[in-house]
Each structure stands twice: as C-alpha cells, then as structure tokens.
Amino acid sequence: MLNLAILASGRGSNMVSLVEAVKKKDLPVKIVAVVTNKIGAPCLDKADSLGIPSYCLLPKDFSSRFEYDQALAEFLLEKGVDTICLAGFMWLLGAEFVSRFRGRILNIHPSLLPAFPGLEAQKQALSYGVKISGCTVHFVDEGLDSGPIILQETVPVLTFDTVESLSERILVKEHEIYPRALELLALGKLKVFGRQVEIMK
Ligand code: GRF
C-alpha cells in the first residue's frame, strides 16, 4: 500500500483524476494528504469535497527555499507519506528533498519531454511550431522536468490552436496517463534502470 501525498498549487484537475482512479480501480494507495503552497488554491476545496485532508504550507512563512523544502519533507514524513505526486505544484523541489523521496516522486508535464520543460509548455510548443505535442509523466530528479520518463501521450497541434485549446486537449490525455502511471507504480510494475523505466507485464 502506497501512502501518497498529492502536491498542487492550482485548479487541481489532475489531483481529482488521481483520487478518482484510486477509488474506481481500488488501487493499493492511501491518499494521506493534498498539500498546496498557495492560499485559496481551488485544489483545496476539491480535496475537501473528495474527503481528502488538505493542508497549506506557505513559502512566505519560511526564510529560504531550503527551509521550506525541509519543513515540507518533515511534514510529509510525519504523516507517513512514502510517495508523492506533483500535480501542478508550482515549486522546484531542491536536491535534498528529492533525495529523501528518491524514486518516489512523480510529476505530470504538458509537453513531450525533453521538449519544452518549465513554465508555459503549451505556449512554448505553439511558438516553436511543432505539429505534435502531448504530455509526460516522469520521475522527479534534481533537474527541471528532467527525470526518467514513465508514460507519454501525443496530441496533434491544430492550425488554429490557441494556448487554451491545445492545453484543454492535452489535459484530457493528462487525466488518462497520470492515473495509469500511479497504478503501475502502486502495482510494483515500474523498474528503473538509469534513465530507462521498464513497465513489467
Ligand atoms: C497541468 O497542465 C500539468 O501538466 C501541469 O500543471 C497543470 C496542472 O493542472 N504540471 P491541474 O491543476 O491539475 O488542473
């Protein structure tokens, strides 16, 4: 059984898709907490309505990024968390945090990594003029959206796409692959060899 925390800063649609998949598929995952770093983030209300305890840990209450990361790690460890899903968490976790949960942190990113890491991935894809974009679920390492890739899904870029229309279509795929990746992790079907993630039958 995984003891999972979901870290989110915004609307929380991926958080909802993870919670719903755990319930629907009866996955061996206990969702211990939703944690945000933004006051009034919509994901908090969504977590409440799903019956998941939610917490707000604000960067302004800490004197450095390092202290924030440390407090967050300790908070999660006290709650018995062993696995973390980042779902639109607007915060780059430092190396020490990552090493405390190595191989146990997942992230979803709205591009086909390694293309367009960082902020506004959909805008980057449109500006570059790619014909195909998509989304990626990956393990988190010390870099920016750079850890080993678990699953990817493609989405065509259409002639009249705006950032909004492309983001919307990518989000549909995000809600498919993130729960699927969590399921694979929970069932012990992911084996990592360096950058390669093998999916066991
Ligand atoms: C998603 O596009 C995700 O890929 C990115 O942040 C966004 C979060 O959306 N990391 P939501 O809060 O899950 O709706």
Distance 157 CA to ligand 1 centre (A): 18
Q: What is the residue with the minimal CA distance to atom 9 of ligand 1?
A: 88
Distance 165 CA to ligand 1 centre (A): 14
Kindly list the strands in the beta sheet with 2-7, ordered across the sheet, starting from the edge strand earlier in the chain. 54-56, 29-36, 2-7, 83-86, 105-109, 132-139, 149-156
- Cβ–ligand 1 contact at 125 (below 6 Å): no
Distance 185 CA to ligand 1 centre (A): 20
- Cβ–ligand 1 contact at 11 (below 6 Å): yes
Per-residue pLDDT at 160: 96
Question: Which one of 44, 50, 108, 175 would you pick to mutate in the ligand 1 pocket, going by the greatest count of ligand atoms within 8 A of its CB?
Answer: 108
Per-residue pLDDT at 163: 98
**How far does CA 21 lie from the centroid of its chain?**
15
CA angle, residues 152, 6, 45, in degrees to nearest 5: 115
- Cβ–ligand 1 contact at 134 (below 6 Å): no
CATH 3.40.50.170 fits domain 108-201: yes
CATH number of 1-101: 3.40.50.170
Q: In whole angstroms, how far apart are CA 145 and each of 24, 26, 35?
A: 29, 29, 20
19: helix, strand or coil? helix
Q: Of 11, 58, 54, which Cα lies nearest the Cα of 37?
A: 58
**Cα distance between residue 27 and residue 140, in whole Å:** 22
Q: Of 65, 103, 71, which Cα lies nearest the Cα of 84?
A: 103
Evaluate whether 1-101 and 108-201 have a shared fold. yes
112: helix, strand or coil? coil
Q: In whole angstroms, how far apart are CA 136 and each of 75, 115, 179?
A: 28, 10, 12
Q: How would you write the pLDDT of the chain (201 residues) with one tens digit per residue? A: 999 999 999 999 999 999 999 999 999 999 999 999 999 999 999 999 999 999 999 999 999 999 999 999 999 999 999 999 999 999 999 999 999 999 999 999 999 999 999 999 999 999 999 999 999 999 999 999 999 999 999 999 999 999 999 999 999 999 999 999 999 999 999 999 999 999 999
What is the value of pTM for the model shown?
Answer: 0.97
Output phi, psi for 189, to 5 deg. -100, 5
Question: Which one of 36, 45, 171 would you pick to mutate in the ligand 1 pocket, going by the greatest count of ligand atoms within 8 A of its CB?
Answer: 171
Distance 88 CA to ligand 1 centre (A): 4
- Can you read off the two tokens belonging to residue 69? 């990361």
Counting from 1 in the atom list of ligand 1, the atom nearest the Cα of 11 is 12
Instruction: Kindly provide the b/e burial profile for residues 109-143, where b requires at least 16 CB atoms within 10 angstroms of the residue's own CB.
Output: bbbbbeebeeeebbebbbeeebeebbbbbbbbbee
The structural domains of the chain, with segments of one domain joined by +, span 1-101, 108-201
